């Protein structure tokens, strides 16, 4: 079995802001604790994979921030590490049709949700494929789905996991490790309990991987990007004048398939930045 683990930090147990998702001179001890929690959540997922298949080939992508959030040197030697994805390319870099399953640890929601912890969708306000509003995990699942690879397990906060499964498949195994109270606070499980939950959900999802459909879209795909302000939309159409500007902050383009939609969005996200 070949499994891809994509990691993001906002959905890790015990994390709800306060400098835990990146270096912060005001709270210097917070980020190292976040790194510890992150590493242990991912290690629990790896343990689950190896319990299902001790000979599994595992790829791990630390896709948060600068990709230096997880101590991957603590992983078993059969885990391959995607180094410096750093969200420059994507959170599922290297996934293809040879994989049997995608797992997302640390999933988060986006700004349209009520209690998604640290919710966002890259640098935009909203992203839609054929009218379906996507989170970053949904976006990862769409690329996996292009290759017929199912997203079988996710961990994160309750609100975000509910949104993701309702929009992809309720058959996806989940590990709700915390409950958000607004965007910057949460009630979290103890890390040890969260890790047990993650391991069990990974085992469940992998054992049922043939029952979980890949996340696929009818083609062509209409991609709507709502930027945080009109500046992002302006930059988009300045560099890509073939795109349609729907409103001051919203741009539309049409992609032939999910892979083109995925990378088309990432390219526009980079071009739209005012920095």
pTM, entire model: 0.94
List, run by run, the mean pLDDT of 10-residue segments along the chain (275 residues).
Answer: 94 87 86 94 98 97 84 95 75 94 93 84 92 95 98 95 95 96 90 97 98 97 95 94 96 98 92 71
Question: CA dist 192 to 3, 40, 89, 198, 251, Å?
Answer: 23, 9, 32, 10, 44
What pLDDT is stored for residue 88 in this prediction? 63
What pLDDT is stored for residue 133 in this prediction? 95
What pLDDT is stored for residue 89 in this prediction? 67
What pLDDT is stored for residue 122 in this prediction? 85
Fold classification of 2-207 is Rossmann fold (3.40.50)
DSSP-assigned states of every residue in 52-79 = H-TT-EEEEEE-STTS-SS-GGGS-TTE
What pLDDT is stored for residue 117 in this prediction? 83
What is the rounded CA–CA span in Å between residue 212 and residue 69?
30
Angle of helix 191-207 versus helix 30-52 axis, rounded to 10? 30
What pLDDT is stored for residue 86 in this prediction? 64
Ramachandran area for residue 71 (φ above 0: left; ψ -120 to 50: alpha; else beta): beta
**In 147-190, alpha helices (H):** 158-167
What pLDDT is stored for residue 138 in this prediction? 95
Domain ranges of the chain: 2-207, 221-271
Query: CB–CB of 113/159 below 8 Å?
Result: yes
What pLDDT is stored for residue 166 in this prediction? 94
């Amino acid at each position: 079995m070949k499994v891809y683990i994509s990691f993001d930090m906002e959905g890790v147990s015990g994390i709800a802001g306060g400098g835990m998702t990146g270096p912060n001179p005001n709270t210097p001890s917070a980020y190292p604790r976040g790194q510890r929690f992150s590493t242990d959540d991912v290690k629990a997922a790896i343990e689950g994979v190896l319990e299902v298949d001790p000979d599994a080939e595992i790829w791990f992508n630390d896709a948060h921030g600068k990709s230096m959030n997880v101590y991957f040197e603590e992983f078993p030697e059969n885990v391959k590490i995607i180094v410096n994805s750093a969200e420059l390319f994507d959170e599922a870099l290297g996934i293809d049709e040879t994989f049997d399953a995608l797992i997302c640890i640390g999933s988060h929601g986006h700004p349209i949700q009520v209690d998604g912890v640290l919710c966002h969708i890259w640098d935009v306000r909203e992203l839609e494929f054929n009218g379906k509003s996507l989170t970053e995990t949904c976006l990862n699942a769409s690329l996996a789905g292009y290759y017929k690879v199912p997203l079988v397990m996710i961990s994160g906060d309750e609100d975000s996991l509910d949104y993701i499964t309702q929009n992809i498949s309720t058959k996806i195994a989940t590990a709700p490790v915390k409950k958000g109270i607004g965007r910057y606070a949460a009630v979290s499980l103890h890390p040890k309990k969260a890790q047990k939950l993650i391991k069990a959900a990974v085992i469940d999802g992998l054992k049922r991987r043939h029952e979980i459909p890949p996340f696929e879209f009818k083609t062509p795909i209409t991609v709507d990007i709502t930027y945080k302000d009109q500046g992002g939309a302006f930059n988009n159409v300045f560099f890509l004048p073939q795109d349609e500007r729907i409103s001051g902050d919203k741009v539309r383009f049409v992609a032939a398939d999910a892979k083109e939609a995925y990378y088309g969005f990432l390219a526009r996200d980079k071009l739209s930045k005012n920095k």
